[in-house]
Amino acid sequence: MAATIATSKPYYKEYTRESDHEFLATDAYGWDVIDRKVRTREVMSEAGINTFIEHPDKGDPPAWWVITTPNAGYIPTAPIGIRHIQAKADGRFGLDDRTLHPQMYVQSFEYICCIPIRDQSRHMLWWTPTLDDCPMVPNSPFSVTIRVLKPELLNRYKDLRDKYVGLIGKREGRNRSPLAGLLVTAMCQALDRLRSFGMTYKEILLAVAEFQRAVLDIHAWIDFVDVYQPRLFPGPNGVVKYEANQNLMGAFTEKVQVAQQLHAMGIPVWLIRPSFRILPTMNVYLTSPQRHCDKIVLGHFKDGQGNSDPYPVLATGPPSTELFRWTQRIGCAIMDLQDVTAIGRQDFIEGNTSIGGVRDAYSIPVPSASALSSAGKVGPSGWFFRDSFYLTIESNIHLSFSLSVTIHFRFELLSLDALLADTLYHGRNGITQAVATRSRSEQLLRVFPMSGDVLGSFMINEIPNRDLGLTSFDLEERNRHLVAFGNLMCPWKGCPDSIRDASHLPIEAHVQALEEACATFYCQSFFDNFGRAPIIPCRLPPRSLARPAPVTFADSVMSAQPSS
């Protein structure tokens, strides 16, 4: 059934199992091999073991991830790997929006597989307002353009709200669900914001999409509970076989049990599995390359002048319940509560040194409290700093300063990454927290100078005699570490396209552009989260550059002592 060459993707020929034309959940009415090889620790097992370990040294043929469906006529683009939850130009989440594209089947979001596909009869649930639909609030004295939806559009959404409030209100006893109540509350509050809160056009797009998702969530939950779940229970005539409803969104899964249940309920399902789990007796009909609806918007929002003005990245990580919650605000689960206010942030920028412009915990030398009280608006003089920092030889000042800066930059980068990419430090999908932390730490260490392909450490073991890594004068070396720096920051909230889509070629103009983008984003992110400027790498002093070879820190200190 499967034709393959040792290093190529498998190909599954049309096949019928012993004249059995019925497609089981594990069969392939349609199939596609993902352009992704199976890697160590990616295959989970309910037996509690990881079933696949790579042995490239043995020359084993690679395994590939394969998508099959027993009951759908096409293969959607698989929403797997690291996802970046970010609204697109229409206020929706692109391929990560459950109202536009099938998602992974995860706990607490089981019902979203029953969201209907885009349908003209319900076009207001996928409609995107234009500027003409959002007139400006007249006579506003502010430079910010505040808009509202037209009353007739709000009334149409009010009718939808009333319809679904009524449908949930009719349910009594065991048919009442806390989740349904929370979904109704989220829907009502989303509409209230559209009716009573002044917004920019960009904000209105988000609010409209949020209301539409809430309505479709309720619609899907009712169908899932009332129509499809009961199909799992045998009737008086036994188990009934249902044709898949091709008007439903359906779901992806890696669990064969989930695929069996969705198949039995008549819901489109796509099973993702490694090629070594596919038996030669699998029924196969046709190959179907992955695709998605061409109406799904994937580009970023642009302002009135046509400049890119993307929405922030809300969360980053593999598909999971936690990740999906960022796209749904129900109950107390309002996810974006880390930075709860920006009021007063400008005070820090414009503020006086005497009221705390420089923190006591600053990592490089800071003025003493008594000096700050008399500093006024004049910058601190040399004698304001702690005497213990200064050594007897001027070159030692430069050396000690550059070492302090280098070490502090490394640990500040680690601290900021742990804050902005904390989900990557947690174990999931069969990966322990220790393994996840080690993997992320190794990626972070690639930003710093390495000995060939050997990663260094966060501490400095020796003082080099030339500038390395991000400070190197060698274009290829500096570019290599800049690319690692950019890759590290890609999962951070708000990472710009100038880093995500940057050229990795060691060309002077490209390297300079990436360097500027990385420096700008890193410094701004550090300030936004810690309230002060970061410590950034600096080049070595002449004393170090004059040495014929690197030396240990202890040897450097001994050689710096004046002779008796």
Crossing angle, helix 394-420 and helix 508-530, to 10 degrees?
Answer: 80
Q: How confident is the model at residue 186 (pLDDT cuts 50, 70, 90)?
A: very high
Query: Is residue 333 a contact partner of residue 325, using CB atoms and an 8 Å limit?
Result: yes
Q: What is the mean pLDDT of the chain?
A: 82
pLDDT interval class at 385 (50, 70, 90):
very low
Average pLDDT over residues 74-83: 94
pLDDT over threshold 70, residue 366: no
pLDDT of residue 471: 83
What secondary structure letter does DSSP report for 228?
I
Q: What is the pLDDT of residue 564?
A: 44
Give the CA diameter of the chain: 103
> What are the b/e assignments for 191-205, b being 16+ CB within 10 Å?
bebbeeeebebbbbb
Kindly report the pTM of this predicted structure.
Answer: 0.62
- Helix H or strand E encompassing 313: strand 313-317
For the record, the structure tokens of 338 come out as: 């880390």
Note the pLDDT tens digit of each residue in 193-232: 999 998 999 999 999 999 999 999 999 999 999 999 999 9
CB count, 10 Å around CB of 328?
A: 20
pLDDT digits (tens, 9 = 90+) for 146-184: 999 999 999 999 999 999 999 998 886 556 688 888 999
pLDDT band at residue 505 under the 50/70/90 scheme: confident
Separation of alpha carbons 270 and 30, rounded Å: 9
Q: Which residues pair with 271 in a beta bridge?
A: 68, 253
Q: What is the pLDDT of residues 388-403, one digit of tens each?
A: 444 444 444 445 456 6
Question: Is the CB of residue 157 less than 8 Å from the CB of residue 194?
Answer: yes
Whether the per-residue pLDDT at 470 is higher than 90: the answer is no
What's the pLDDT tens digit per position in 50-63?
667 666 556 678 89
Q: Please report, rounded to a whole number, the percentage of residues in the chain having pLDDT higher than 70.
A: 79
Which tokens in the block code for residue 204?
A: 């209105």
Q: Check residues 389 and 560 and name the one with the higher pLDDT.
A: 560
Task: Check: CB of residue 2 under 8 Å from CB of residue 12.
Answer: yes
Segment 86-136, tens digit of pLDDT: 999 999 999 999 999 999 999 999 999 999 999 989 999 999 999 999 999
**Can you give the pLDDT at residue 339?**
52
251-253 sheet: strands from edge to edge: 103-104, 251-253, 269-274, 64-69, 28-37, 284-287
Give 543-552 pLDDT, tens digit per residue: 777 778 877 6
What is the rounded distance in angstroms from the CA atom of residue 30 to the CA atom of residue 75?
7
Q: Could you give the 3-state DSSP secondary structure of residue 107?
A: coil
> Is residue 360 scored above 50 in pLDDT?
no
Residues 26-40: what's their mean pLDDT? 93
Give the Cα separation of 338 and 329 in Å (integer).
15
Identify the pLDDT of residue 62.
86
Among residues 497, 483, 496, 469, which one has the least CA distance to residue 409?
A: 469
pLDDT of residue 35: 93
The pLDDT assigned to 531 comes to 85
Q: Specify the pLDDT at position 124.
A: 96
- Banded pLDDT at 246 (limits 50, 70, 90): very high
Average pLDDT on 488-499 reads 91
Place of tokens 């509560």: 337
pLDDT at residue 54, rounded to an integer:
67
Query: Phi then psi for 248, rounded to 5 degrees?
Result: -95, 155
